[in-house]
Structure 1
Amino acid sequence: MTFNHLGEIDDYKELPNDEKASEWSNSKEQYLLNETNGSTHVVVNLNSVEEYATYFEDVFPKALAIVKELSERNCITITTKIKAPIEKVWNYWNEPEHITQWCAASDDWHTPKAVNNCLTGGQFTNTMAAKDGSFSFDFSGTYTAVKPNELLAYTLEDGRIVRIIFVPVKDQLQIIETFEAETQNPMEMQQSGWQNILDNFKKYVENH
């Protein structure tokens, strides 16, 4: 597969084809897929303007890791962009006093308690509860990789994997969260619930 870059898109909107955007007009993105003995080897070739070379060298391996997880497991990916410094985003994501303020999929739920030992091998537990007191459960797991301001990966108690990467994009920070779906609820419901929590996080960071 080969793509020819024609312009730029930001926040799902096509930007004017100005002089800066035209620098990409001759850039190409090529994906080569070769299958051998039931496994697929993916090779990516990219022509980039020099300004973004380091960015793509950092982002593409992370993106391919997500593709690998999506292909080999029953995974879902959600994402958002936040206008805030990475240090603030990282702290608000990981500090219990902040987690309790944003970790909810709807207005009738909340997280009254959070414990987070954010290091490789450390554990976390978020107690998620209906505000009317009718139901609650602990969302918990163990970190398998922690790279401050870059990456979080953990395994949930039931063995499912979750990976979150933090990627600077111009004046924003993009969060890409990939999680292995469970089998009890529809995929669409799971994606919507996790996306709602991520959207709540974005609102909380940008308004506090």
Structure 2
Amino acid sequence: PGQHHDRETGLYYNRHRYYDPVVGSYINQDPIGLAGGVNKSIYAINPMISMDPLGLAPVKTCAERILKAAEKLNNQERYSYASNYGFGSKRNKCNLFVHEVLENADVESPSRYRFGIIPRGPATAGDWANPQKAIPGFEIVTSPKPGDIVAVAYPYGDATGHVAVVTGSSTTIGAGSEDGSHSTGWPWNGASPKGNPIYRRCKD
């Protein structure tokens, strides 16, 4: 987790400090002293989803920002099937939820276009679930982590499938039914998904 690896010492040079991966902390004190906190040798609190490229402060990754945005927009009735919000009432809004999560996380959200130029709204669940469709800023992965986007394609009514944000090994936050945005287990509805789940991870 650093800019330059020193093969002789095994340390990582982060421009302002050296990081020791064995002990999981910097060997130099924070150059700003106690202004950065009482622990002057700390690295990013959660190195799985945060990084500290300069050795000065942890930077939130796009996955961490997506996760926090999903949690912030959770339990919102406006994403329910009956709500007039967004697409209007009697419309599924799982893709709208994911779209607004990405916007709140300052991550570019894919859109649909007519004739390649006329905006038609957020990418559909079917778009997210199509492994042949490239989504800029995201890569397909096989092992999901919190902050990833998961989608399954299956056509029904006004929807092309379902899309949500991964929050844990078997949990997601998404929108659907009369509940609006909500946390749910995975697979959804306590049953196997009606298709193959596709996981996408944002690229920092």
TM-score by length of 1: 0.24
**If each structure's strand is expressed as a fraction of its own residues, which one has the higher value?**
1
**If each structure's helix is expressed as a fraction of its own residues, which one has the higher value?**
1
Work out which of the two has the higher radius of gyration on C-alpha atoms and give 1 or 2: 2
TM-score by length of 2: 0.25
